Structure 1
């Protein structure tokens, strides 16, 4: 009986470990954001520093690049987009993040 309870506890703990690291997309840190300079950095700079965006959209003469990131974790969830807007010359004119952190509905943390 003790072995069965111990085995169940170990299996539960191991299944929880896989839950801790569910991530998808490109997580862009604040330090990386600071490397991209508004009115100076170009599309080539952004692609070199971060990589190719998951989504692009035309906006007038310019373009918007989106990098999405989702993480489900024991200590909370993260669901955000990092957005870079470029002018017609391909220079960054705006950069920002949308979304953010939220509680994990299973743990309340």
Structure 2
């Protein structure tokens, strides 16, 4: 019995290490795509195209057409089991040529409809 308990104790860290990067052992609920500052830095104003962003990150959560500018929103939310929840949007603006004009990252979208996030 003692050997079995020791084997379980030694194997536990391996289970978490082998889990995919997006897996969360604490039960957090995650929706959307989180953009890191490094990912944003890779996207060049005037050079990066809509097709490149869609190809790398998938379709945006929401889209808007404002005159000649198309705006893409990638919403992200993490409802944490411990600590504060995270809710943010990464916004890309494209000119009519399909090239990136602006990029920004900010707080939560107006409403998610999720009562656990308060909106």
**The two structures share one fold, judged by TM-score above 0.5:** yes
CA distance in 1, matches of 2:67, 2:48: 20
The unaligned stretches of length 5 or more in structure 2 are: 1-23, 109-119
Report the count of equivalent residues. 84
Q: Is structure 2 residue 88 aligned with structure 1 residue 80?
A: yes
The unaligned stretches of length 5 or more in structure 1 are: 1-16, 101-109
SS in 2 for 1:76: coil
Q: CA RMSD in A?
A: 1.9
1:48-89: per-residue Cα shift (whole Å, max 9, x none)?
221110111101112000000011211321100000000010
CA distance in 1, matches of 2:39, 2:25: 27
Q: Is structure 2 residue 13 aligned with structure 1 residue 22?
A: no
CA distance in 2, matches of 1:19, 1:31: 26
Stretch deviating more after TM superposition (76-85 or 24-33):
24-33
CA distance in 2, matches of 1:51, 1:27: 12
Normalized against structure 1, the TM-score is what? 0.69
Structure 1 residues 13-92: aligned runs within 5 Å: 20-73=27-80, 74-92=82-100
Normalized against structure 2, the TM-score is what? 0.64
Stretch deviating more after TM superposition (78-87 or 25-34):
25-34
